Structure 1
Amino acid sequence: MIDQIQPAQLSDWITAHAADGATVVLDVREPWEIQTACVTPQGFELVKMVMHTIPARLNELDRNRPIACLCHHGARSMQVAAFLAQQGFTHVANIAGGIDAWSAQVDATVPTY
């Protein structure tokens, strides 16, 4: 099952999965998007991996660590989260609303685009 979490709920999700290892926020946006706006890791490891590269780079991700996927509004990250779940990743979430919601809920200094 893929959890749908709002950016403001991420810290609670991290706490709930703490026994499973350090949480990864997997940013699946394009490099220009990450240059435009990026989250600051607080209590998680930030991994940047463009969506279309994930199948080839799957072995770089730990199947047992909690992974919360992030994109611009939540659609691409939901596709990635579903793909990871199909590949046997056990603790996967989609950050609903993406970095746009992150700016509104968590850190207003993160630009919107």
Structure 2
Amino acid sequence: MIEQVTPQALPAWLQAARANGEPLLLDVREPAEWRVASVHANGVEVLQMPMMSIPPRLHELDAARPVAVLCHHGGRSMQVAMFLAQRGFTHVANIAGGIDAWSLTVDPSIPRY
């Protein structure tokens, strides 16, 4: 089962995840979406990798590293989180509500689209 983490709870998840390595925030939206709105998680690497590019680029990701996956509303990120878990990633979370929830609840300066 994939852990669901709200944007408000993400800092606590990231802190706890550090027990398993340096966490990664994986943004699986498309480049046009990144240009409209992007997130910055203090002290956490953010990697932008569109959902459909992940299978051929899977070798670029470390299965032992904690990964929190982000998309627009949480659907694509959930699919990617399940994909990663099925391929041996041991500490994966879906950011529930995506960047839209992030804008609504954490950082209203992030544009909604």
TM-score (norm 1): 0.97
Instruction: Tell me which residue corresponds to 2:71.
Output: 71
Distance, in Å, in 1 between the alignment partners of 2:18 and 2:108 is 26
Question: TM-score normalized by structure 2?
Answer: 0.97
Name stretches of at least 5 consecutive residues in structure 2 with no aligned partner: none
Displacement of 1:2:
1.2
Q: Deviations for 1:34-64, whole angstroms, at most 9, x for unmatched residues?
A: 0000001313110000000000000111111
Unaligned runs of 5+ in 1: none
Q: 2:18 is matched with which residue? A: 18
Corresponding residue for residue 97 of structure 2: 97
What secondary structure sits across from 2:26 in the alignment?
strand
Structure 1 runs of 4+ with >6 Å offset: none
1:25 counterpart SS class: strand
Task: Indicate conservation of the 8 Å contact 1:11/1:43, yes or no.
Answer: no
> SS state of the match for residue 94, structure 1?
strand
User: In structure 2, what is the Cα distance between the partners aligned to 1:13 and 1:88?
Assistant: 20
**1:7 aligned counterpart, secondary structure:** coil
Identity %: 59
- Following superposition of structure 1 onto structure 2, how do residues 1-113 of structure 1 map, counting pairs within 5 Å? 1-113=1-113
Question: 1:4-56 deviations in whole A, cap 9, x for unaligned?
Answer: 01000001101111111111010000000000000013131100000000000
